[in-house]
Amino acid sequence: MKLNVYNTLSRKKEVFEPLHAPNVGLYVCGPTVYGDGHLGHARPAITFDILFRYLTHLGYKVRYVRNITDVGHLEHDADDGEDKIAKKARLDQLEPMEVVQHYLLRYHKAMEKLNVLPPSIEPHASGHIIEQIEFVKKILEAGYAYESEGSVYFDVEKYNKDYNYGKLSGRNIDELLETTRELDGQSEKRRSADFALWKKAAPEHIMHWPSPWSEGFPGWHLECSAMGTKYLGDTFDIHGGGMDLMFPHHEAEIAQSCAALGHESVKYWMHNNMITINGQKMGKSLGNFITLDQFFEGNHPLLTQPFAPMTIRFFILQAHYRSTVDFSSEALVASEKGLARLMEAYERLQKLQASAETTVEVAGLRERCEEAMCDDLNTPIVISHLFEASKAINTVADGKGTISEADLAELKEVFKLFIEDILGLQTESGSGSNEAYKKAIDLLLEMRLEAKRNKDWATSDKIRNELTALGFNIKDTKDGFEWSL
Ligand code: ZN
């Protein structure tokens, strides 16, 4: 079975063939750290976490780079306006890096709660100014950029004559160039379709660096071209991000890389779809901008209750990453119930007793789940297969069916693999390691019971005293023991 992924560039599913197997280079546009993490942050993080986990499961050695945009993201997502981080720093009288650090810590905490694995490298745009300046020089040398008043702009019209600007997003660039030809005399740019590679800093701008053109800062699109190729090479396998980044960000990235290197950098472009809330786009002005912390605490007028991070994760995985997801309290409540049902079956599975033969339907579960994952990461189908198998588990647990030892072992392995390792779902009490920790304490207390039976008071006291010193409450009961922390 081969992994198939939908390549936004070719607009079809393609068999995934890595450029340098077993190594795989994966680059995902990370967050702009100037605001609290919200659902829009959770979806790409979870989507590409699934891809990262599944590629690893397939035996690839994945270098996963997810950048941190901490400079150059301007207020109007264009070449105007103040840098968002610089503005917040100025208003709150902080160092820009204090603002970045504050939000980055919160973002990491939220990602950890959502059980999103950390990437291999998390480079900051502000830490790669030299690489970005070198990239601008290459584009200038190739003739696809021009300097104007200390800033450098990408020449979209010139580039489009030699390459195809708009190939990723499908935008008709001739039309775009035609309608944007006229610019008032105020602008430094030749055409409004041109985008900044380097911007001269205005006097009030507090984040700036020296360059051959001016004291200034890099344009937003540049960091991904510079850091992607720095860490993954001039050509690498997968570039991912949200669909909202397709234009202009990813289109500009392709143009920058082609202009500087003479060829494209990325083999497969993958995009996750957007999230809506009660059918509406998310936005601060619409009053439906819910942060991840507000979801976890239930602290927003649109929420009827708090939702555990795993419910959010499960909810996102119940939709294919290329379909839209609409959040509502009702839909989340349904997901919460669904997840509880699945996890209950997973727990019952651990306690099943094997019989001589299998009378329930469990054959081929592994193959069906792999097939769904290989079909462009179809997590909703994987989940439906796990629900089917849960019925079989419940039938056996209720004494209405039997399962052989071999089938039981296989079922346990497949559930662990898909629920924990690939979908990254954890029980609310914690992860698998939490389970292991509980079992380890149980084991120690069993040993203490045995020592007592053997009148080995020294060992029994030692276990009790040392666990008590660590903060455990141990209670002897009629049938054994109970403990809590
Ligand atoms: Zn990017």
pLDDT 10s digits, 287-309 = 778 889 999 998 888 899 999 99
Distance between Cα 125 and ligand 1 center (Å): 10
Distance CA 278, CA 326 (A): 6
Q: Is the pLDDT at 95 greater than 60, yes or no?
A: yes
Neighbouring CB atoms inside 10 A of 9's CB total 17
Distance between Cα 76 and ligand 1 center (Å): 17
Distance between Cα 266 and ligand 1 center (Å): 13
Structure tokens at 129: 């100014």
Distance between Cα 245 and ligand 1 center (Å): 8
Distance between Cα 459 and ligand 1 center (Å): 59
Distance between Cα 240 and ligand 1 center (Å): 9
Q: Is the pLDDT at 101 greater than 70, yes or no?
A: yes
- Nearest CA among 409, 364, 423 for reference residue 389: 364
Distance between Cα 327 and ligand 1 center (Å): 25
Lowest mean pLDDT among 7-11, 86-90, 233-237, 350-354: 86-90
What is the pLDDT, as a whole number, of residue 430? 46
- Mean per-residue pLDDT for 196-214? 91
Distance between Cα 170 and ligand 1 center (Å): 18
Distance between Cα 371 and ligand 1 center (Å): 31
Lowest mean pLDDT among 15-24, 176-185, 233-242, 320-329: 176-185
Share of the chain above pLDDT 90, in %: 71
Distance CA 472, CA 467 (A): 6
pLDDT band at 4 (very low <50, low <70, confident <90, very high): very high
Rounded to 5 degrees, what are φ and ψ at 21? Answer: -55, 145
Distance between Cα 214 and ligand 1 center (Å): 24
Distance between Cα 41 and ligand 1 center (Å): 13
| Residue indicated by tokens 């699109």 | 221
- Nearest CA among 217, 239, 203, 244 for reference residue 77: 244
Distance between Cα 468 and ligand 1 center (Å): 51
Distance between Cα 242 and ligand 1 center (Å): 10
Is 383 in contact with 317 (CB distance < 8 Å)? yes
Distance between Cα 305 and ligand 1 center (Å): 34
Structure confidence by residue, pLDDT tens digits, 366-405:
999 999 999 999 999 999 999 999 999 999 999 999 999 9
Distance between Cα 74 and ligand 1 center (Å): 14
Distance between Cα 68 and ligand 1 center (Å): 9
Compute CA distances 54 → 24, 50, 372, 375, 376, whole Å.
12, 6, 12, 12, 11
Q: Is the pLDDT at 77 greater than 50, yes or no?
A: no
Distance CA 481, CA 445 (A): 7
Distance between Cα 257 and ligand 1 center (Å): 12
Is 366 in contact with 47 (CB distance < 8 Å)? no
Domain with CATH 1.10.730 in the chain: 277-422
Distance CA 362, CA 387 (A): 11
Structure confidence by residue, pLDDT tens digits, 23-70:
999 999 987 766 667 788 899 999 999 999 999 999 999 999 999 988
Helix (H) or strand (E) holding 238: strand 236-242
CATH code of domain 4-272: 3.40.50.620
Q: Is the pLDDT at 431 greater than 50, yes or no?
A: no
Q: What is the mean pLDDT of the chain?
A: 90
Distance between Cα 223 and ligand 1 center (Å): 7
Domain with CATH 3.40.50.620 in the chain: 4-272
Structure confidence by residue, pLDDT tens digits, 178-188:
765 555 556 78
Distance between Cα 123 and ligand 1 center (Å): 12
CATH architecture of structural domain 277-422: Orthogonal Bundle (1.10)
Distance between Cα 225 and ligand 1 center (Å): 8
Distance CA 309, CA 317 (A): 12
**Beta bridge mates, 195:** 154
Distance between Cα 83 and ligand 1 center (Å): 16
Distance between Cα 26 and ligand 1 center (Å): 12
Mapped onto helix, strand or coil, the DSSP state of residue 52 is: helix
What is the pLDDT, as a whole number, of residue 118? 97
